[in-house]
Amino acid sequence: MKWSLLVTAACSVLFGFSWQVRNTRAEAPAETQTPTVAETAPTAEEIEYFEKHIRPLLHQRCYSCHSAEATKVQGGLRLDSRAALLKGGDSGPAIATAESGDDAADASLLIEAIRYEGTSYDMPPDGKLPDAEIALLTAWVNRGAPFPVTEIAPLPTEANIDFDEGRRHWAFQPLAEPALPATIADPWSRGRIDAFILAKLQEHNLSPSPAADRATLIRRLSFNLIGLPPTPEEVEDFVRDDSPDAYDRLVERLLGSPQYGERWGRMWLDLARYSDVTESWLEATDNAHLYRDWVVKAFNDDLPYDQFVRRQLATDLMEETGLQDLPALGFLGLSPTYFKELLLPPEIIKVIVADEWEERVDAVTRTFLGLTVACARCHDHKFDPISHQDYHAIAGVMASTRMTDRPMIADEEYAPVAAAKAEVAKLTEQIAAKQKQKPVPVDEIACLQAEIDDLKAFTPQYDTPLANAVVDESLHVVLAGDNPQSGTKLEYRPEPQDLNLFIRGNPNRPGPVIPRGFLTVLSTGDSRPFRRGSGRLELADAIIDQAGHLAARVIVNRVWQMHFGRGLVDTPSNFGRLGSKPSHPELLEDLTARFVANGWSFKTLHREILRSATYAQSSAVDPAKEAIDPDNRWWWRMNRRRLEVEPWRDAMLAVAGTIDLSLGGKSEGAEDASNHRRTIYLTVHRREVSKLLQLHDFPDPNLHSSERVDTTTPLQGLYLLNSPLLIDVGRALAARLLRDFPNDPAARVREAYRLIFGRAATAAEVQVAIDYLAAAAPPNVEASAGTPDPSDPQVPAPVTSTAWERYSHALLASNEFLYID
């Protein structure tokens, strides 16, 4: 039981306490009173000794971390009053009492620490005290640590969370039924959404913008729902179609497209920190795409969100779902894992394992609940009613869940495959051993190899894919052998485990056992603790049943965010007190209530949002309104939005006519310009994100990510000017234009505008093109002649592109192509 914190990766909430202000109570709480020995006032002699020898020493050596003057008191320990010494820190009293005479020092943690005996809690941390000072402190403790009585405030106790008070936070309240504002009668309002939006606009002396034109609308809708531009024919059909249901039919067509799931599934994959490539130290894990494809299909099938959540956390424990859903477990099964060197002692490995559990708690709670529960690993959450115990109740679920590959066929069907694989492994080892013999027994190896080939060929379903999944098994980090140097063993046991509370987040400082369970503030009745296996299914059920109002608000807000570029709550994964309040609380309540009532259906929610007049607004900026609401917080217009890297690249390939729209399957190289699959199928490599993705704000796949950040950098500019992707799509597009309009340059330009921007070119734009093409230098043969080394940048590259290719490239690199109105 130590008070140093050398190895814990403590979480870094930086808000100091203002203890002196908060704890000016005249009386110390009972537990800070001297526990065993009556406090007797020190004698004058003792005071003199203390002030002369001890206080300066404590002041110089200890008080920067262990007193009221410390910016942050370390280890909960203060050394500036006798009561504080006796109360001690996280690890217990700092000094033993003097009853036992000379043994008091030996029994005191304070003295143990300053003796620097090579333990992990040596103090002070920057070096051992001189022997004389150690002797002074030792003698002082043996004399009973006499300390002048002071006025210093006692240590604060850990804030006890008032959960009832906590439940009053808006996001934890049951769903409200707000009254529909009178603006529903306004002719602008097409439905309930508009009524709420319009009411707020009027409140702020704003009015909505006119509807966008139909060409803009179909472009907006297409990118929003399927991540691809509409074809010129689709644009023209829609613009011409004046039947009243034209818009609804368009929405239905797009929602019914298989590309819808790719677009919206990718949103989910950001939250799930999806990676195609998992850590090299894991078993064979080349089937990550099964999870990605499951997510895409779930969106396409409009799998109700409550089911979507349950299956990702616990489909293997649900009776109503089958093996085809097993890849859903990839949400947990593809979690980041950190390297564990098992030669190291368990104390170090325990911290790494605890970090992994923390990451999973973080991903699960931020994704599904919009709460930052991982903040409570080291202490009660500083802002939200989430206790240190709550953290461990959920972490216990993760500690009872093992990441593993699982077959998607029945156990009895897989049993022979497993046996065959074990046999193959054994034979492979034998071959390896024989290959080391001299001379190499070629014939024997051939025999063994033939056996392997037979096993693979004749075991039915030998190559059945294994999904990155999880199974109920608890992980225990134990000493590998008998002596402390024998390294670490990771033991998986079938029974679940409840965790000991990690004092200050450190798994090597166990506190009381915390039963697995749900967050107190969101629990109703006496549903804790979890009892079935790891508790994954109970956790999933609790998220949907007990916290359904919160979970539904969070996902409805994410859907709004995807449609409008910002959520009603603009901290989409933090609905706690530090998160933003909703800009339109009534609207969020109203939408959420209907989302739940409509069976948690995404597509129903899309329809409602997409049919609103709010969504149909133009993105044009009205300076008068902008002066009132520059951030467009009240939605007086549609936001102009920059395409994320996926639809941007996909759209280039689409207009060039080279896109490969085949669905699903293994990912493919991201840097390969000849790979024309949609960007969702480019390899996401957790430890080495491809340049294309890295340069274009793709989120770090090690972390849950709730929104894309737009950055604009010169390296993106270089990509735009010089990357093989842009050059290739420019070339393909030029070829397409030349093929379709061999003799009419102006018609070619007009077609380019139809394809790329979904609109007609203006006369000025055609003229700009014609002028450019006329002036663009013909291939400069002389400049390229005799180039010694074409990769030398001092030497200009030979101009091998045509003016039309460079023109097409320029259109694709334009702002208009990247930004959607």
Partner 1 sequence: MLGAAQLFASENRTAGSDTTGAGIHFPPRVKRVIHLFMNGGPFQADLFDPKPALEKYAGQRPDGANLRTERPTGGLLPSTAKFQPAGQNGVPVSDLLPELARHVDDICVLRSLHADNPNHGPALMQMNNGTILPTRPSMGSWFLYGLGSENQNLPGYIVLCPGRPVRFSVLWTSAFLPASYQGTYVNHSDLKPGKLIPYLKNETQDLHTQRQQLDLMQRLNAMHLENHGRDQALEARMASLETAFRMQTEANEAFDLNQETAETRTAYGEGHYANGCLLARRLVERGVRFVQVYYGNGQPWDTHSKHNESVKNLCKDIDKPTAALLADLKQRGLLEDTLVIWGGEFGRTPTSENGDGRDHNHHGFTMWLAGGGVRGGMTYGETDEFGFRAVENKVHVHDLHATVLHLLGLDHQKLTFHYGGRDYRLTDVRGRVVSEILT
Residues between 522 and 581 that touch partner 1 (CB under 8 A):
566, 570-571, 573-574, 576, 578-579
The footprint of partner 1 on residues 412-431 (CB under 8 A) is none
Instruction: Report the C-alpha gap between 293 and 297 in whole angstroms.
Output: 6
Identified binder of partner 1 from the candidate list 359, 390, 472, 586, rule CB under 8 A:
359
Selected binder of partner 1 within 27, 45, 126, 463 (CB under 8 A): 126
Does the footprint of partner 1 cover residue 262 (CB under 8 A)?
no
Query: What is the nearest approach in angstroms of partner 1 to the Cβ of residue 554?
Result: 14
Angle between the N-to-C axes of helices 232-240 and 214-226, in degrees from 0 to 180, rounded to the nearest 10 = 130
118 near partner 1, judged by CB under 8 A: yes
Neighbouring C-beta atoms of residue 338, cutoff 10 Å: 14
339 is a site residue for partner 1 (CB under 8 A) = yes
Binding positions for partner 1, 364-393, rule CB under 8 A: 366, 371-372, 374-375, 383-384
- Residue 274 is classified by DSSP as -
Residue pair 157/19 in contact by the 8 Å Cβ criterion: no
Cβ at position 74, least distance to partner 1 in Å: 9
Binding residue for partner 1, selected from 6, 47, 107, 323, defined by CB under 8 A: 6
Q: Distance (Å, rounded) from C-alpha 821 to C-alpha 819?
A: 7
Is 348 one of the binding residues for partner 1 (CB under 8 A)?
Answer: yes
Q: Can residue 763 be called a binding residue for partner 1 (CB under 8 A)?
A: no
Tell me the closest approach of the beta carbon of residue 323 to partner 1, in angstroms: 33
Residues 14-33 that bind partner 1 (CB under 8 A): 14-16
Residue 655 CB: number of other CB atoms within 10 A?
27
Residue 415 or 715 with smaller CB distance to partner 1: 715
User: Which lies closer to partner 1 via its Cβ, residue 263 or residue 704?
Assistant: 704
Residues numbered 190 to 249 that lie near partner 1 (CB under 8 A) are: none
Token readout for 377 is 């690993």
| Distance between CA atoms of residues 9 and 26, nearest Å | 36
Report the C-alpha gap between 20 and 25 in whole angstroms: 10
Give the residue with the Cβ less far from partner 1, 119 or 157: 119
**Beta carbon of residue 395, minimum distance to partner 1 (angstroms, whole number):** 16
Residues 128-167 that bind partner 1 (CB under 8 A): 128
Torsion over CA: 96, 102, 105, 106 (sign): negative
Cβ closest to partner 1, residue 38 vs residue 709:
709
Least separation, in Å, of the C-beta of 703 and partner 1?
Answer: 5
Looking at beta carbons only, is 509 or 704 nearer to partner 1?
A: 704
The single residue among 26, 38, 457, 764 that binds partner 1, judged by CB under 8 A, is 764
Stretch of residues binding partner 1 (CB under 8 A), selected from 39-47, 254-262, 519-527, 787-795: 787-795
Residue 319 CB, shortest distance to partner 1, in Å, is 35
Chain positions 592 to 621 lying near partner 1, rule: CB under 8 A, are 620-621
Question: Could you say whether residue 810 binds partner 1 (CB under 8 A)?
Answer: yes
Q: Which of 258, 269, 261, 252 is nearest to 298 (CA)?
A: 261
Listed residue (56, 54, 58, 81) closest to 143, CA to CA: 54
- Residue 764: CB minimum distance to partner 1, A: 7
Stretch that binds partner 1, among 459-467, 545-553, 654-662, 699-707 (CB under 8 A): 699-707
| From 29-37, 351-359, 463-471, 662-670, span contacting partner 1 (CB under 8 A) | 351-359
713 binds partner 1 (CB under 8 A): yes
Of positions 155, 292, 805, 820, contacts partner 1 by CB under 8 A: 805
Closest by CA position to 361, among listed 157, 517, 201, 585: 517
Both tokens of 26, joined, read 């005249």
Task: Decide: is 695 part of the binding site for partner 1 (CB under 8 A).
Answer: yes
Residues 69-88 that bind partner 1 (CB under 8 A): 71-72
Selection from 351, 352, 348 nearest residue 504 by Cα? 351
CA-based R_g, the chain, Å: 33
Residue whose entry in the numeric block shows the structure tokens 């190291």: 344
CB atoms within 10 A of CB 728: 19
CA 704 vs CA 315, 362, 575, 580: distances in Å: 21, 8, 15, 19
Min dist CB 350 to partner 1, Å, is 13
Rule CB under 8 A: say whether 687 interacts with partner 1.
yes
Residues 42-71 that bind partner 1 (CB under 8 A): 71
DSSP track, 457-469: HHSTTTT--EEEE
Phi, psi of 641 (to 5 degrees): -125, 140
Could you tell me where the beta strands, DSSP code E, fall in 330-479?
A: 401-407, 466-472, 474-479
User: Of the ranges 12-20, 77-85, 243-251, 418-426, which one interacts with partner 1 (CB under 8 A)?
Assistant: 12-20
Chosen residue from 321, 461, 527, 716 binding partner 1 by CB under 8 A: 716
Q: Which stretch binds partner 1 (CB under 8 A): 582-590, 660-668, 687-695, 732-740?
A: 687-695
Parallel, antiparallel, or unpaired for β 401-407 and 466-472?
A: antiparallel
- What is the closest distance, in whole angstroms, from the C-beta atom of residue 81 to partner 1 in the complex? 25
Residues 531, 32 contacting (CB under 8 angstroms):
no
| Residues 580 and 570 sit within 8 Å (Cβ to Cβ) | yes
> Which residue among 180, 427, 431, 768 contacts partner 1 (CB under 8 A)?
768
Q: Which two tokens stand for residue 485?
A: 């140097």
Distance from chain centroid for Cα 497: 25
Query: ∠ CA 488-274-645 to the nearest 5 degrees?
Result: 140
- Chain centroid to CA 327: 19
Q: Looking at beta carbons only, is 92 or 724 nearer to partner 1?
A: 724
| Burial 751-774, CB ≥16 within 10 A → b, else e | bbbbbbbbbebeeebbeebeeebe
Judge whether 612 and 186 are in contact, CB under 8 Å.
Answer: no
Report how far residue 140's alpha carbon sits from residue 47's, in angstroms, rounded to the nearest whole number. Answer: 11
Q: In the complex with partner 1, which residue's Cβ is closer, 661 or 810? A: 810
Distance between CA atoms of 196 and 634, rounded to whole angstroms?
Answer: 10
- 635 to 654, contacts with partner 1 by CB under 8 A? 640, 642
Cβ nearer to partner 1, comparing 362 with 751:
362
At its nearest, how many Å lie between partner 1 and the CB of residue 398? 16
- How many residues contact partner 1, by CB under 8 A? 118
Two structure tokens written together for 397: 């679920």
Q: What DSSP state is assigned to residue 211?
A: B
Does the footprint of partner 1 cover residue 794 (CB under 8 A)?
yes
Structure tokens at 795: 């030497």
The minimum distance between CB 676 and partner 1, in angstroms, equals 19
Q: Which two tokens stand for residue 727?
A: 């050059």
Choose between 439 and 778: whose C-beta lies nearer to partner 1. 778
Examine residue 479 and tell whether it contacts partner 1 (CB under 8 A): no
> Could you say whether residue 807 binds partner 1 (CB under 8 A)?
yes
**Window contacting partner 1 (CB under 8 A); options: 43-51, 288-296, 333-341, 407-415:** 333-341
DSSP state of 351: H
Q: Rule CB under 8 A: say whether 814 interacts with partner 1.
A: yes
